[in-house]
Amino acid sequence: MTASWSFALLVLGPLMAAALAFVFPRRGRGVALAAAGITAGAWVGLVREVMAGGVQIQRVGGWSAPLGIDLRADGLAVLMLMVTGLISGAVTLYSGRYFRDAHDLESAHRERYFWPLFLFLWAALNALFLSADIFNLYVTLELLGFAAVALVALAGNREALKSAMRYLFVSLAASLFYLLGVALVYGQCATVDLTLLAAKAQPGPTLWVALALMTGGLLAKAALFPLHFWLPPAHANAPAPVSALLSALVVKGAFYILLRLWFEAFHSLNTPAVAQVFGGLGAAAILWGSANALFQPRLKLLVAYSTVAQLGYLFLLFPLAAARDGGFLAWSGGLIFLAAHACAKTAMFLTAGNILHAAGHDRIKDLGGITHVPPISTFAFGLAGLSLIGLPPSSGFAGKWLLLSASLVQGQWWWVVVMLVGSLLAAAYVMRVLTRAFTRVPDATAPHPIPPVMEWTALAMAVLAVGFGLVARWPAELLRVGVPWP
């Protein structure tokens, strides 16, 4: 019974909050805090049920699949919900100050619309992670995409509007590719339920094409190289808390669906050759993204390209987790890496927002000269960088370590090389920022002092990005629940 309420509140809580924040524009922050409380409670209830009783299923409307829609919570879903909750909570605290700080009309407008859009994004993510139905996933993808685009456009300047427009085109076209795949799957298997599909899907031309369409759409949404072109401008030009949400969560929604498709519903079509292709694209993303990050003139662009690179690591999970031997090592490694990246990237974008706030720009080469970045922000950026590079004891290290072990166990040494080169490049671009932008200039002071809550939330996420690694055993255990193979 508790689980049913958890399912309902995790989705409907933020959804109703979004509607209320629209009706009462001045109460946005309070509504969001209430939603955070409700979802946190619901999540705790759910995680207890999952730890005690295994995978939880809710048959919406009392109808079971194939006619009805099933919601499902396994270890993976619960982990994703936790990351979403933590980051959304941090963004709620941060944004309460971020949008309020300049008292002009424009920022009042922005704050008024930020809250409902943000809550829609949150509802869409929770609905996505709980869904076990590929058509329902399409609806959540559209909710997610609309909210993300509208949030990017909220920045309102020329570049933000243009990148939002491009983002919308990519996002809508990708959704249609996905939906066409769903149509073919339904025509062939007469169901859209993930679990039933796992039993019914037999390799054949129709399903190959269907899966290719769905995967193509999702890869564009997940911004895997070479379909990443829309990401850096969109993520770099959005307001800072929005950038954090996009980089930490939104792209991972598409990645999550890819996992569900290739490891569960269509596991019978997952061949080693396909897995190697995914891995290859991931490797290319790591190298291309990191190399580009090195040469970005602006801090937010650098962090955005770093996202392109870090997303590549996630796709190494495909060739590594598909193998029997050490598969679970890679599976848990990749997902811990995902959580680590989400926290670290949130910290980085929030810090970048703080710097932008203090200095009025984020040109890396000029930052050191004119402003003195307060130690908390420096520390937060450094800690997050630690996790991004993958130095012990951070959670980035834990994730990479598991992935490395898996590739060594399986003799796929080429991924080891890629990961090591990627780490070196990450170290280079993090150090570039730390040495050039954060150097202390004796007399410089920040033109605008940074509100403490904005600094402390960034730091908290950075601490989480490191500290999560110390308790990495717990998520690994959680991920065991409902893992797609025995």
Interface with another protein in residues 218-237 (CB under 8 A): 229-230, 232-233
| 154 forms part of the interface with another protein (CB under 8 A) | yes
β-pairing, 70-73 vs 56-59, is antiparallel
- Which amino acid is located at 442 in the chain? P
Both structure tokens of 336: 């811990």
Q: Minimum distance between the CB of residue 440 and another protein, rounded to whole angstroms?
A: 32
Q: Minimum distance between the CB of residue 21 and another protein, rounded to whole angstroms?
A: 9
Q: Which stretch binds another protein (CB under 8 A): 94-102, 172-180, 315-323, 476-484?
A: 172-180
Residue 18 is classified by DSSP as H
| 366 forms part of the interface with another protein (CB under 8 A) | no
What b/e readout covers 14-23, taking b as 16+ CB neighbours within 10 angstroms? bbbbbebbbe
| 389 forms part of the interface with another protein (CB under 8 A) | no
Residues 6+ apart with CB under 8 A from 134: 182, 185, 192, 193, 194, 197, 214, 261, 265
Q: Which stretch binds another protein (CB under 8 A): 63-71, 95-103, 333-341, 389-397?
A: 63-71
Query: Which of 50, 132, 210, 227 is in the footprint of another protein by CB under 8 A?
Result: 210
Q: Which stretch binds another protein (CB under 8 A): 31-39, 92-100, 142-150, 424-432?
A: 142-150
User: Is-contact 338 314, C-beta < 8 A?
Assistant: yes
Q: Minimum distance between the CB of residue 95 and another protein, rounded to whole angstroms?
A: 15
Q: What's the length of the chain?
A: 486
Q: Minimum distance between the CB of residue 377 and another protein, rounded to whole angstroms?
A: 26
Site residues (CB under 8 A) for another protein, limited to 78-117: 109, 112-113, 116-117
Q: How far apart are CA 7 and CA 76, in angstroms?
A: 15
Q: What is the DSSP string of 119-178?
A: HHHHHHHHHHHHB-BHHHHHHHHHHHHHHHHHHHHTT-SHHHHHHHHHHHHHHHHHHHHH
Q: What is the DSSP string of 394-435?
A: SHHHHHHHHHHHHHHHTT-HHHHHHHHHHHHHHHHHHHHHHH
Phi, psi of 59 (to 5 degrees): -90, 105
The closest of 148, 115, 347 to 244, measured between CA atoms, is 347
Q: Minimum distance between the CB of residue 3 and another protein, rounded to whole angstroms?
A: 11
The closest of 121, 97, 93 to 17, measured between CA atoms, is 121
Q: Minimum distance between the CB of residue 225 and another protein, rounded to whole angstroms?
A: 13
Complex with another protein: residue 34 or 60, whichever CB lies closer: 60
Site residues (CB under 8 A) for another protein, limited to 174-193: 176, 179-180, 182-184, 186-188, 190-191
Query: Which of 52, 104, 106, 205 is in the footprint of another protein by CB under 8 A?
Result: 205
| 69 forms part of the interface with another protein (CB under 8 A) | yes
Complex with another protein: residue 143 or 257, whichever CB lies closer: 143
Query: Which of 40, 59, 102, 439 is in the footprint of another protein by CB under 8 A?
Result: 59
Site residues (CB under 8 A) for another protein, limited to 232-291: 232-233
Q: Which stretch binds another protein (CB under 8 A): 167-175, 240-248, 314-322, 438-446?
A: 167-175
Cα 122 to Cα 118, 128, 205, 384, 416, distances in angstroms: 6, 10, 37, 23, 35
CB half-sphere exposure, 22, CA atoms < 13 A: 10
Q: Minimum distance between the CB of residue 34 and another protein, rounded to whole angstroms?
A: 15
Q: Which stretch binds another protein (CB under 8 A): 33-41, 52-60, 93-101, 356-364?
A: 52-60
